[in-house]
Chain A
């Protein structure tokens, strides 16, 4: 049982490049979400999904795109990377809202 798998673990991008952060879970969880963690600011919600085909915006969605075509996968796309998107990104999943979320190990992204 792998839990929540995020790839890559580290990435350096140049300003203006695009990329996709991958997130996959093998627990058949309906709820999935993406967060970014910046020093002194905790984790902030980017986008979330309550099931395949259903996504919604969080607190800081600008510059990011998501889709959920399967229960297992919830990729996060950076459309045109900016230095302000330098952060650690976490994906998480849960079987229901009150159960508690299982987190991936995170992706450290640097945009230069």
Chain B
């Protein structure tokens, strides 16, 4: 069974600075995908970034990038030039061949200070 762990319940960052959210996962599969989702106060779930396990290169989407360490089963999210609109809950999730749906971590609440 997959497990996803987010050990930081809350994080805070100053506007325009950089913050890194941590995530570790466990799976017995070799074929899997990893995701970061953002949930603002509107409660809508928004896909931020995805990573394919067989790709060595870390995914990047504008100000968002990941540090994917496959051997360590670590998948952290870096947000550069933080903006007030980045304030939200962030969830790490995985999907493998054993279960064709998402397994989520418990989330990290990110506050952005002006």
Contact = CB atoms under 8 A, between A and B. Distances in A.
Interface of A: 31, 33, 35, 40-45, 48, 50, 56, 58, 88, 90, 92, 97-103, 105-106
Interface residues of B, number: 24
Contacts, number: 60
B109 to A, nearest CB: 10
Given A97-B33, A98-B50, 6 more contacts: A31-B100, A33-B102, A42-B105, A45-B102, A98-B95, A106-B44
B68 interface: no
Contact of B100 (A44, A50, A100, A103): A50
Instruction: Tell me whether chain A's interface is mostly helix, strand or loop, or mixed.
Output: strand
Interface-centre pick from B43, B52, B101 (highest chain A CB count, 10 A): B101
